[in-house]
Amino acid sequence: MGHPTAIEVRNVSKRYSDDPGLAPALDNVSVDIADNEFFTLLGPSGCGKTTLLRTIAGFEQVSEGEIRLAGEPVNDLPPFKRRVNTVFQSYALFPHMSVAQNIAFGLEMQGLDRKQIAQRVDEMLALVQMQHLAQRKPAELSGGQQQRVALARALAPKPKVLLLDEPLSALDLKLRKEMQVELKRVQKEAGITFIFVTHDQEEALTLSDRIAVMSAGKILQIGTPNDIYERPQHRFVAQFIGDINFLPGHLKRGQQNEKLFVPSGMPVEIPCPAQGFDGSSVQLAFRPERSQLVDPAQPHHLRGVIEAVLYVGTATLYQCRLNNDIKVMLRENNEGLNRGRVVGDRVAVNLPPHACLLMEA
């Protein structure tokens, strides 16, 4: 990865029962997370992302495997002996303490003197831009301000890694987007590793240096936001990250390259990179925004009928039923144009080669 490793997770499994019929919460998970990286664990509820976070923190013991922090095994260390702090969804601020007192709490537990504590509190207040609210109580703060205090308190003891368990989920949409920008800024300025748990795909794409997509206790794919979105390696990953369409297809080798023939009334050849697909039956995947609606009179395109039109401001979504009775979602940027497409219109769909992904059937 080009940077020293902050966290190493090696073949970690976590079981809450000895019953072999029950699936483990974590199933042989391995991942390396670099120093100063914003790393996100993304997946639906119950996929194991919070359990993995809790094993790193020391709140849960692993059933198998090893966790290393800065190269040192920490399986047997209690949470307070690990250089790891956690920001929870609930913030867990002390209501009777001021902002400054909340931030100072962990430093007092470390036994620092007053001068050191005051200096570090001032640094943290400046980092989260809350110097003017130092004497306020949590009840006097907005949700976003409380989030900043929780962040400052967690960073004050200078942890090696900060763990964040869905910290933005309680905020409204506008404030959540503002805090996404703030979180990224704070992470870069603090210069430490953030491990962030979320089920929000857009949040993960916006914030992360890399993302691990989890399902059923396993990590299915690790990559940059661009890798995860543009080159998903599993059908689950493709469907979980944004909207995507799937068409059954059959690979045949032509004179120059392999072609994908989409059957059942769609006599069209679509050139696709087909390396690694030994079988002939595949799924063609494409994002709605990668397709192009064209004149239905043009040859060699998918054809269908518009069944629904959804205006979403910057774009219009079209649900189309193709000639083989498969429904797909297509997207056109509006750009101030009124194309006048309505339900019942016949359309043709062009899929540029770079828009196509092949997956196992």
Vertex 232: Cα angle to 316 and 354 (nearest 5): 60
Q: How far, in Å, CA of 88 to CA of 73, rounded?
A: 24
- Size of the chain in residues: 361
pLDDT value of residue 173: 84
Same domain, 157 and 93: yes
In this structure, the answer to whether residues 162 and 58 fall within a common structural domain is yes
**Best CA proximity match to 147, nearest among 126, 164, 161:** 164
Name the residue range of residue 252's domain: 243-360
Q: Which two tokens stand for residue 214?
A: 């989890």
The answer to whether 247 touches 328, Cβ cutoff 8 Å, is: yes
What is the pLDDT, as a whole number, of residue 337?
Answer: 65
191 with 282, same domain: the answer is no
Nearest C-alpha neighbor of 192 from the set 55, 62, 43, 87: 87
Q: How many distinct structural domains can be found in the chain?
A: 2
With beta carbons less than 8 A apart as the criterion, state whether 96 and 137 touch.
yes
Task: Judge if 297 and 281 occupy the same domain.
Answer: yes
Supply the pTM of this predicted model: 0.88
The token duo for 209 is 């240096």
Q: Where are the beta strands (DSSP E) in 208-291?
A: 210-215, 218-223, 245-253, 258-262, 268-271, 281-286
Q: How far apart are the C-alpha atoms of 96 and 3, rounded to whole Å?
A: 41
Q: Count Cβ atoms below 10 Å from residue 209 Cβ, excluding itself.
A: 19
Domain boundary among 239, 274, 292: 239
- What does the DSSP 8-state code read for residue 202? H
| Residue 220 and residue 85 share a domain | yes
Residue where a domain terminates, one of 186, 209, 239: 239
Closest to 293 measured CA to CA, from 309, 314, 274, 269? 309
Which pLDDT score is estimated for 267? Answer: 43
* Secondary structure (3-state) at 126: helix
Longest CA–CA span in the chain (Å) reads: 79
Other C-beta atoms within 10 Å of 322: how many?
Answer: 20
Q: 66 and 186 share a domain?
A: yes
Closest CA to 206 of 232, 184, 236, 237: 184
Q: Are residues 115 and 257 in the same domain?
A: no
55 and 184, same domain (yes or no): yes
> Could you read off the pLDDT tens digit of each residue along the chain, which spans 361 residues?
456 899 999 999 999 988 888 899 999 999 999 999 999 999 999 999 999 999 999 999 999 999 999 999 999 999 999 999 999 888 789 999 999 999 999 898 888 889 999 999 999 999 998 999 999 999 999 888 998 999 999 999 999 999 999 988 878 888 888 889 989 999 999 999 999 999 999 999 999 999 999 999 999 999 999 999 999 999 999 999 989 999 887 766 555 555 565 654 454 455 555 555 555 677 888 999 988 888 777 776 788 899 999 988 889 999 999 887 889 999 988 876 666 789 999 988 888 777 788 887 6
Number of H helices and E strands in the chain, helices first, is: 8, 20
* Helix 173-190 vs helix 143-155: crossing angle, to nearest 10: 20
| In a shared domain, residues 326 and 215 | no
> Measuring CA to CA, how many Å separate 3 from each of 6, 31, 96?
9, 14, 41
Q: What is the pLDDT of residue 335?
A: 76
Helix (H, G, I), strand (E, B) or coil at 193: strand
- Return the CATH number at 298: 2.40.50.140
Tokens of 40: 């996100």
Question: What CA–CA distance (Å, rounded) separates 208 from 305?
Answer: 39
Domain C-terminal end among 239, 254, 287 = 239
Same domain, 223 and 277: no
Q: Which of 266, 290, 288, 273 is nearest to 357 (CA)?
A: 273
CATH number of the domain bearing residue 76: 3.40.50.300
My answer on whether 222 and 303 are in the same domain is no
Q: Are residues 211 and 264 in the same domain?
A: no
**289, 244 contact by CB (below 8 A):** no
